[in-house]
Chain A
Amino acid sequence: MIKSVTKQPLIDDNTKHNYIVIYNDDKEWTVPHDENNRMYQEILEWVAAGNTIAESGE
């Protein structure tokens, strides 16, 4: 289960970003914006459940 998601911009294009995801076991993953990535799909489900992705620096 996801606890939080925060955007992290790419260094060469700040219009694109990865996601810093912390799960309930407190493990942190950097998840690319890639529809083929399983954890990215989990982020989409987490957002659909009413949760909000934090912007970088928040």
Chain B
Amino acid sequence: MSITKVTDAGLDRSRIVTPIIINGDMQVAQRATSVTSHNAVSYTTVDRFKTVCETGTYTVIQESLTSGNAYLNGFKKALRLDTTTAEASAGSAGEQTTIEQRIEGQNLNAFLKGTANAKPFTLAFWVKANKTGSNLQVNLRDADNTRQVGGTYNIDATDTWEKKIINFPADTTGAFDNDANNSLTIEWFLDGGSNFSGGAVPTAWEASSNADRNVTNFDLAGSTDNDWALTGVQLEVGTFDLNTIPAFPFESIDDNLRRCCRYFQDYASFKLWTTALDGNTTTRLGGVFAFNTTMRAAPSVSKTNNTGTIDSQTITDKGYSVFAEKTDRGTTTNVTDIELDSEI
């Protein structure tokens, strides 16, 4: 019997099939799986999650999970911060320790932000820490319109994976830019100086105010006993609770890696040989390669060259070319350990 009609049961929700959060299950860590003595603002281990660590010093790990509630729900990796050097009193007034994911505006159109039809946001994630805490804050920060909204969660039990759901209201003010730059930062606040407290958690969208971003300090940097871990991050259009939130959108590893490669690519063992003779000179050789994925923007390039002088480089979002001096190159010149960074 041929099918004449497919009913729309189960298909009527306007979900984005591709997850908004990239690498929410923490499976991809191209840079490293562990970084010690981290006290800086940079991407360290798990792709797409920025480790802003200004208070205290941390070991940042892509942790492998083998038990616990997150593991039992399919999560095999997590992003974990272990405090290795404590910093009392949350450091200087303007210092913060946060975990961020920054999202391009063109990936946020489904929220209809800045229109009369604006949709609410629901953030789900799994979290574990060595100590309990109340009113830990997560903020959504609109970089295009300098606005923010906040929500809170509790850590009810120590060293136990707990799933959290935070609902954020719709915002009819301030549309996200439809471009490749940062429009929305999700910010898990873990420690902060006095500049980030003193206000109230902004449960409605408001003009950005630092005093409202970390009203109750978790004080992750307060003791070397402390740790905090995150996985299963999921952002949905609409309002959901623990019972109604859609299942986590697990991706295949190749889909996940390809999406991460829009922001960072690692060619650790690859050697780009400079073999093509530059027609304008007898002393210069060039090499070129195309990236495996078009990047968000022309990336920064880190590399080492075995010998010779690099004269010039051309970088676009699609590829890279390099020219080296032939005269002092020895027998061959190559560029290796190439890293491409186009993170937001």
Tell me the A residues contacting B by CB distance below 8 Å: 1, 8-12, 18, 21, 27-32, 34, 36-40
Contacts and interface: CB of A to CB of B under 8 A. Distances in A.
A32 B181 CA distance: 16
A34 B297 contact: yes
Contacts of A40: 300
A32 B180 contact: no
A32 B315 contact: yes
Contacts of B223: none
A32 B300 contact: yes
Contacts of A10: 312, 314
Given A11-B284, A30-B300, 17 more contacts: A1-B40, A8-B313, A9-B312, A11-B278, A18-B313, A18-B315, A21-B300, A29-B302, A29-B341, A30-B313, A30-B315, A34-B298, A36-B298, A37-B297, A38-B341, A38-B342, A40-B300
Interface string B308-344: 0011111110000001000000000000000001111
A37 B312 contact: no
Contacts of B302: 27-30
A32 B343 contact: no
Contacts, number: 55
A49 B55 CA distance: 22
Nearest to B310: A8
B314 A11 contact: yes
Contact of B343 (A11, A21, A38): A38
9 contacts: A11-B314, A12-B314, A18-B313, A27-B302, A30-B300, A32-B316, A36-B181, A38-B342, A40-B300
B299 interface: yes
A36 B297 contact: yes
B141 to A, nearest CB: 16
B300 A29 contact: yes
Contacts of A9: 312
A13 to B, nearest CB: 10
B301 A30 contact: yes
Contact of B298 (A11, A12, A37): A37
Nearest to A14: B312
Contacts of B323: 11
